[in-house]
Amino acid sequence: MLCLVAPCGAAQGRSTGTVLKEKAIRDAVSSFLLDRTKDAGMEIRIKKIGATGDMTVPSGNVTYEFIVSRQWEGWGKSLLGLVVRVDGQIVKNLSIPVEVEALAGMVVSLRPLERGEVIGEGDVALQKRDIASAPGKVCRELDQVIGKKVRVAVRGNMPIRGDFLEKVPLVKYGQLVTIIAENGSLRVTAAGKAKGAGAEGDTVLVENLSSRKDIHARVVDSGTVAVDF
């Protein structure tokens, strides 16, 4: 639970107390939401603040306390708690529905992508979308997507998540490869046979054809693996 206490503007009545105007309450809610998301690095738009109506409270020093769940990132739909105090005493406890749009650049498919396809530059684009409407960890940069293989079918005009993709294997099981071992100026090469498949940077098991020993090596390209020594 997170909260923020703020003073409020109010109209003083002669004998009936203080009138809290709905507009003033909405302005306070808006300020709280914008302050909460100011460091998000996204374009924030408040789409909805639930109606509260004018409220009359006892005369005195009026403050607002806003309460939200720690799990709420600041966008999407949520129920905002508002505690109204007069001279430190709670006089109102409200629940206000809010909806916040957070626009961020994300990678979007320009056409349907079938499982197993390798994504090219013409298949995707960077567009601003509401991050609340894109569940999961969406890709925010084109280089996170281009050259990757699609694991599941993706509809056109759809934000692409990282778990939709996998790296394209450069080395296949049973493929002959060159094993490179480097240490400073010393460089040794040997012929090997891959005992697993892997993409660039992956570690695969390789049989050294000279020693007949299995070693773990890092995939460099489609015909080369590297070991450290």
CATH code where residue 98 lies: 3.10.129
pLDDT confidence of residue 129: 92
Kindly report the CATH number assigned to the domain that includes residue 119.
3.90.1210.10
Would the pLDDT of 10 be above 50?
A: yes
Q: What is the pLDDT of residue 71?
A: 85
Give the whole-angstrom CA distance, residue 20 versus residue 17.
10
pLDDT tens digits for 44-62? 999 999 988 898 999 999 9
pLDDT in tens, 135-182: 778 999 999 999 999 999 999 999 999 999 998 888 999 999 999 998
User: What's the domain range around 51?
Assistant: 2-102
Final residue of a domain: which of 68, 102, 136? 102
Is residue 97 within 8 A of residue 79, CB to CB? The reply is yes
Residue 11 lies in a domain: yes
Q: What is the pLDDT of residues 169-187, one digit of tens each?
A: 889 999 999 999 988 788 8
- Residue 16 pLDDT exceeds 70: no
Selection from 105, 99, 122 nearest residue 159 by Cα: 105
Residues 153 and 205 in one domain: no
User: Do residues 201 and 157 both lie within one domain?
Assistant: no
10 and 95 within one domain: yes
Residue 171 covered by a domain: no
pTM as predicted: 0.62
29 falls within a domain = yes
- Please check whether residues 93 and 8 belong to one and the same domain: yes
% pLDDT > 90, the chain: 69
Specify if 31 maps to a domain. Answer: yes
Residue 65 in tokens: 């306390």
Domains contained in the chain, number: 3
76-80, 114-118, 225-229: range with lowest mean pLDDT: 225-229
Q: Which of 79, 102, 125 is the last residue of a domain?
A: 102
Flag whether pLDDT at 72 surpasses 90.
no
Asked if residue 94 and residue 54 are part of one domain, the reply reads: yes
Q: What is the mean pLDDT of residues 15-33?
A: 88
Whether 29 and 96 share a structural domain: yes
Same domain, 88 and 112: no
The reply to whether 157 falls in a domain is: yes
Q: Are 97 and 110 part of one and the same domain?
A: no
